[in-house]
Amino acid sequence: MKLSAKQSTLLVLILIIALAPFFFPSAFYFRIGSVVFVNAVAVVGMVILTGYAGQISLGHAGFAGIGGYACALAPVYLGLHPALAALLGALISAVLAYLVGRPILRLKGYYLAVATLGFGILVSMVLSNETAITGGPDGIKVPDLGLRAWLVDRGLKISNSQFWYWFSGLALVIGAWLALNLHESATGRALRALHGSEIAARTVGVDVARAKLIAFVISAIYASVAGSLIALQNRMITPDIAGYMHSIEMVTMAVLGGAGSVLGAIFGATILTLLPQVLTVFQQYEQIMLGLVMMLVMIFMRDGLLPSLVARVRGRGE
Amino acid sequence: MNLLTVEGIGIRFGGLHAVRDVGFSLKAGEIVSVIGPNGAGKTTLFNIISGVYIPHSGRILLESDDVTGFDPYLLARRGMSRTFQNLQIFQAMTVLENVMTGFHLRESGPVLSDLLALPSSRRRSREAESDARVLLARVGLERAAEREASALSYGALKRLEIARALALNPKLLLLDEPAAGCNAVETEEIDHLIVDVAKEGTAILLVEHDMKMVMRISNHIVVLDHGEKIAEGDPATVSRDPRVIEAYLGTQGQDANHAHG
Ligand SMILES: Nc1ncnc2c1ncn2[C@@H]1O[C@H](COP(=O)(O)OP(=O)(O)OP(=O)(O)O)[C@@H](O)[C@H]1O
Ligand SMILES: [Mg+2]
């Protein structure tokens, strides 16, 4: 049987996640791997917003912040289990994305970019300044998810970093599966249609305002879940998670890999997460490097790294 | 009853009256053509009727409802569909997917079922796919189904847009220069296709520079010049009208070039 594009993408992804540990030089790489996967979850959300629907957001870190702080605060103030707290964070992010998205998605191009940037900055300011609740710029502790302890009790000997590697990997596979499902559905076609020609999408009956809102809300949920995973994994969270640098990082990862493809997005997330670990210069000048990567991709590989490389390998590159 | 009634439509761009006080009507199954020299306001008129532009004066009635200023997606729900003179193709999608989007209204469902690829969602996509293949065959593009739309020739893209517009199963179909860029054989195929679609009861509003085609298939012709209606009637009457001959047919050589450009 021939595999569909969706099946082969998922298969490649699962194989990479399953086989990568055999090549890890040290246990530390489980930790890096889990950071890669969590970043990739957020970037798959950007693929839906930017790659499918053609809309830009420079404020999605705001939703990651909401997801992250929900895991810190809901257990304390509402007595919720951390997993339910993550769910609550996703719900709040979705509602907020809906409310914020309605007015700002009418804007186009750089107006939309600036408006979303403003939203992200607003969230990170609230998180920094409401010191009494959020702990301010120093951050706040996050309770344990408890799943690893539960597994260990049942005789599965797994280290903390191994647990988060597999757990984040699973989250990424699920996130990729949902995004690929969407791609091949009527909703996904409507999103891609409005990207291709907004006017033609309207004339075939797509309610463009609603379609943009759907993409915005779904991608916000992805960012929120990624934020929750970061918080739960680090057992602590700071307002940096909602900062505009994190938003720009998400967009750069999506664009670097090729915003239209799920696998490309994961590729972009992988490279930009690994580089700072491998090259110390990258660590020191991370912001400069991000800007440079963004400029180079836009100039030389507008379709993103992965699609451009694939085209070049096939001999169709420009 | 009239399917479409256009009453005293006007729009200005800055100081330019692109369309001024234009009115006409259209019944089910009729083919009405709008002709006029380049820049006469034909496309602008289409954009007003299809909700892309909001007119500064006048009304659009669909059946008996006033739909002036309605968004195109609402007009699509009421049975209007169109093609574009300057091609509006979904570039990053395949030919098949382009036509499948035309079934959006009939085959879209809950977002959650699409995210989870529930059987209902997959069934809707399968139906859209097989319906789209039928339409692709109808415009002669069945063998290009899996190709990227951006790889098609101009004439093929024109037919792709017609297939996408037909997917809405429209009561009213607006075609803006469907035969532009097509060779003689393709033009004749489009000619037959339009006549067939009209026979099925769809009203067709046509802008076309190919005068042979317009004269042969139109029930009624509206002539625009500098945004104003200067004549209307059946093909024989219109082609004898001295104002039309002066404004339009006098420049036919130039327009014939345009039609093949
Ligand atoms: N959005 C716009 N803004 C400003 N002027 C416009 C706009 N759209 C159309 N026009 C002007 O309105 C006039 C009518 O243009 P339109 O495109 O409707 O002509 P047309 O009859 O379709 O011509 P053609 O046969 O070349 O397609 C032209 O002078 C054009 O420049
Ligand atoms: Mg025109």
Q: What mean pLDDT do residues B3-21 have? A: 95
User: Does some domain include residue A313?
Assistant: yes
pLDDT value of residue A283:
67
Q: Whose CA is nearest to atom 27 of ligand 1?
A: B38
What is the domain partition of chain B in residue ranges?
A: 1-79+170-261, 92-168
Asked whether residue A19 is domain-assigned, the answer is no
0.85 surpassed by complex ipTM: yes
Domain holding A83: CATH number?
A: 1.10.3470
Quote the CA–CA distance of B10 and A143 in Å, as a whole number. Answer: 66
Q: What is the pLDDT along chain A (318 residues), one digit of tens a residue?
A: 677 888 999 999 999 999 999 998 888 889 999 999 999 999 999 999 999 999 989 999 999 999 999 999 988 899 899 999 999 999 999 999 999 988 888 887 778 888 888 899 999 988 888 888 888 788 888 888 878 788 888 888 888 899 999 999 999 999 999 999 999 999 999 999 999 999 999 999 999 999 999 999 999 999 999 999 999 999 999 999 999 889 988 988 888 877 678 888 888 899 888 877 777 666 677 777 777 777 777 777 667 666 666 666 665 433
Alpha carbons A8 and A18: distance in angstroms, whole number: 15
Domain count along chain A: 1
B101: which residues sit within 8 A by CB, 6+ positions away? A189, A190, A193, A201, A204, A206, B90, B93, B164, B167
| Among B52, B67, B74, B108, the residue to mutate for chain A (most A Cβ within 10 A) | B108
Helix (H, G, I), strand (E, B) or coil at B75: helix
**pLDDT category of residue B128 using cuts at 50, 70 and 90:** very high
Answer yes or no: are the C-beta atoms of A247 and A58 closer than 8 Å: yes
The answer to whether residue B253 scores a pLDDT higher than 60 is: no
DSSP state of B53: S
Task: Specify which residues B4 forms β-bridges with.
Answer: B26, B62
**Residues B198-230: tens digit of each pLDDT:** 999 999 999 999 989 999 999 999 999 999 999
Judge whether A78 lies within some domain.
yes
Residue B226 three-state SS: coil
Mean pLDDT, chain B, whole residue set: 91
Nearby residues of B235 by Cβ (< 8 Å), 6 or more positions away: B214, B215, B216, B218, B221
Residue B76 has pLDDT above 90, yes or no: yes
B134-193 pLDDT, tens digit per residue, is: 999 999 999 999 999 999 998 899 999 999 999 999 999 999 999 988 888 889 999 999
Question: What span, in angstroms and rounded, lies between the C-alpha atoms of A204 and B165?
Answer: 7
In terms of Cα–Cα distance, which of A232, A198, A231 is closest to A215? A198
Interface residue of A203, A207, A261 to substitute, partner B, most B CBs within 10 Å: A203
Strand positions, DSSP E, A90-138: none
Question: Looking at residue A306, what is its pLDDT?
Answer: 67
In sign, the C-alpha dihedral spanning A183, A184, A187, A193 is positive
Output the residue whose Cα is nearest ligand 1's atom 11.
B18
CA distance A296 to A299: 5
Mean pLDDT within B88-96? 94
Residue of B9, B12, B13 with the most ligand 1 atoms within 8 Å of its CB, for mutation:
B13
Written out in words, the top-level CATH class of the domain with range B1-79+170-261 is alpha beta
Ligand 1 pocket, mutate which of B11, B43, B230 (most atoms under 8 A from CB): B43
The 8-class DSSP code of residue A265 comes to H
Instruction: Give residue A310's domain range.
Output: 5-13+26-317
The predicted structure's pLDDT at residue A282: 65
Greatest alpha-carbon pair distance for chain A in Å reads 59
